[in-house]
Amino acid sequence: MQGTAKLLSSTHPALHLSHPTLESFIWNTLMRAHVQSKTRPVSPTHCPLSIFLRMRFHGVRPDFHTFPFLLQSFSYPSYLHSGLCIHAQIVQFGFPCDPFVQTSLINMYSSCGNLGFAQQVFNEIPQPDLPSWNSIINANVKMGLVNVEKRSHCLGRCKNWKLDDVRPNEFTMSVVLSACGRLGALEHGKWAHAYIDRCGMEVDAVLGTSLIYMYAKCGGIDRARWVFNKLRSNNDVMAWSAMISGLGMHGHYEECLDLFSKMMSHGVRPNAVTFLGVICACVHGGLVSQGKDYFNRMSEDFGISPSIQHYGCMVDLYGRAGLIDEAWDVIKSMPMEPDVLVWGALLSGSRMRGDIETCEVALKKLIELEPTNSGAYVLLSNVYAKMGRWKDVRHVRDLMEDKRD
DNA sequence: ATAGGGTTAG
């Protein structure tokens, strides 16, 4: 039964339960416009989901192009419920075996943070094609970022791939290399590199970026440099950024900043990630005034507004240099609520400095944001003990006991 | 006439 449906969907699209019509084409195109513009819809009535609802209200049947567009707009955990409802509709309208729809479903569940559902869709594909494989691998890797136990399982799965007729391509390998980098799995990464060479895949900017990132994260900065220097195109901001961050990571601050200047003289426009790499390098190298310069130039000369990570780096930069007032100024200037990384940076700066009052504030904020983090309670009660505020010491200990489940 | 998969930071 399933085989028949698949045959129809992949070889004779016209035999679908719903044929493409001029009407469905127009609604699909409208949805695509909103998905591709990537800007926030002007109002909730313009989002692909409400376009779909209006399409149904007008009695227009969706066709097999409709759902990939619609599913692409569900890319956050909060959309999981909508995604599930649309999945049910997909079954009702008879498209659950369309390979495009299946891949879109895997990506939707993966973007919504639900690997289980993504895996379930994948498992129901009798003969997954390459995009489906790449999507499920990507989903596993993404979750590997969150779920530590799954990480090594995921890599093993890539390596022992039984691909009878579907072979990994550049898309696959870039995901695999990125996973190796995150894991610090140098041996797996080298294997992947050798595989790329053996298959005769061209190391373009994307694969090059992945290779540089992998080697840099795995401690092979020389190999990263080698890959970078061999790249044919030298105008890809991501490849430059990967190399710049890699050098910073390894403590080659001068080379890192030189490379940044070199990139600019090549006419490559830095982006938010490039600046993060450069500023992080300044943090580790203790280059306060240079870090501050880069931070200012980023918005003044390039119109890039700093993200919470950039602010976190700046707090870290000043904190490590013992400049607690400056670190506070950064926090006060932030247009968003500081997160645990920002308060953590302020905490470590103020601890180094012996600034007990700032420690107290930072720890209180950390406890507010992470009430189950017992480490912060312990540090805070130590702070109070140092100040001789014994009542507060007892109060914090009681609070910690309360939060324990 | 329209459709699915990739890289840099954290």
pLDDT tens digits for A95-120? 999 999 999 999 999 999 999 999 99
Return the nearest residue to B6, CA–C1'. Answer: A171
Q: How confident is the model at residue A34 (pLDDT cuts 50, 70, 90)?
A: confident
Q: Which residue did the predictor score with more confidence, A329 or A20?
A: A329
Return the nearest residue to B4, CA–C1'. Answer: A100
The 10s digit of each residue's pLDDT in A289-328 is: 999 999 999 999 999 999 999 999 999 999 999 999 999 9
- What span, in angstroms and rounded, lies between the C-alpha atoms of A102 and A110? 12
Let me know how many helices (H) and strands (E) chain A has, helices first.
Answer: 23, 0
| pLDDT > 90? residue A45 | no
Stated in angstroms, how far is A97 CA from B3 C1'?
14
Q: How confident is the model at residue A163 (pLDDT cuts 50, 70, 90)?
A: confident
Give the pLDDT mean for A123-128.
94
From the CB of residue A99, how many other CB atoms can be counted at a distance below 10 Å?
A: 17
Stated in angstroms, how far is A403 CA from B10 C1'?
28
A242: left (phi over 0), alpha (psi -120 to 50) or beta: alpha
3-class SS letters over A297-360: HHHHHHCCCCCHHHHHHHHHHHHHCCCHHHHHHHHHHCCCCCCHHHHHHHHHHHHHHCCHHHHH
Stated in angstroms, how far is A384 CA from B6 C1'?
51
The separation between CA A210 and the C-alpha centre of its own chain, rounded to angstroms, equals 14
The separation between CA A180 and the C-alpha centre of its own chain, rounded to angstroms, equals 15
Q: Residue A170: which nucleotide is closest by CA–C1'?
A: B6
Stated in angstroms, how far is A310 CA from B9 C1'?
10
Give the pLDDT mean for A161-190.
88
Helices (H), A60-114: 66-72, 80-93, 99-111
Return the nearest residue to B7, CA–C1'. Answer: A206
Contact call for residues A349 and A315 (beta carbons, < 8 A)? yes
Q: How confident is the model at residue A339 (pLDDT cuts 50, 70, 90)?
A: very high
Stated in angstroms, how far is A194 CA from B10 C1'?
28
Nearest-Å Rg of the Cα atoms of chain A is: 26
The CATH class given to the A323-404 domain equals mainly alpha
Q: Residue A177: which nucleotide is closest by CA–C1'?
A: B7
Stated in angstroms, how far is A392 CA from B10 C1'?
35
Stated in angstroms, how far is A173 CA from B3 C1'?
24
Give the per-residue pLDDT at A2. 42
Across A216-230, b (16+ Cβ under 10 Å) vs e yields: bbbebbebbbebbee
Q: Residue A205: which nucleotide is closest by CA–C1'?
A: B7
- Measured to protein CB atoms, the chain B nucleotides within 7 Å are 1-10
Q: How confident is the model at residue A11 (pLDDT cuts 50, 70, 90)?
A: very low
Stated in angstroms, how far is A91 CA from B2 C1'?
21
Give the per-residue pLDDT at A35. 86
Stated in angstroms, how far is A279 CA from B8 C1'?
15
Q: How confident is the model at residue A13 (pLDDT cuts 50, 70, 90)?
A: very low
Give the per-residue pLDDT at A261. 97
- What span, in angstroms and rounded, lies between the C-alpha atoms of A87 and A106? 11
Q: How confident is the model at residue A167 (pLDDT cuts 50, 70, 90)?
A: confident
The 10s digit of each residue's pLDDT in A248-287 is: 999 999 999 999 999 999 999 999 999 999 999 999 999 9
From the number of C-beta atoms within 10 Å of its C-beta (0-12, 13-18, 19+), residue A4 rates as exposed
Give the pLDDT mean for A373-394.
93
Give the per-residue pLDDT at A9. 40
Q: Residue A31: which nucleotide is closest by CA–C1'?
A: B2
User: Against a cut of 0.85, is the pTM above it?
Assistant: yes
Q: Residue A27: which nucleotide is closest by CA–C1'?
A: B2
Q: Where are the domains of chain A?
A: 23-32+46-127, 167-234, 236-306, 323-404
In chain A, what percentage of residues exceed pLDDT 70? 89
Tokens of A290: 């240079």
Tokens of A181: 């980098």
Q: Residue A241: which nucleotide is closest by CA–C1'?
A: B8
Q: Could you tell me the sign of the dihedral formed by the alpha carbons of A326, A332, A333, A337, in that order?
A: positive
Q: Residue A68: which nucleotide is closest by CA–C1'?
A: B3
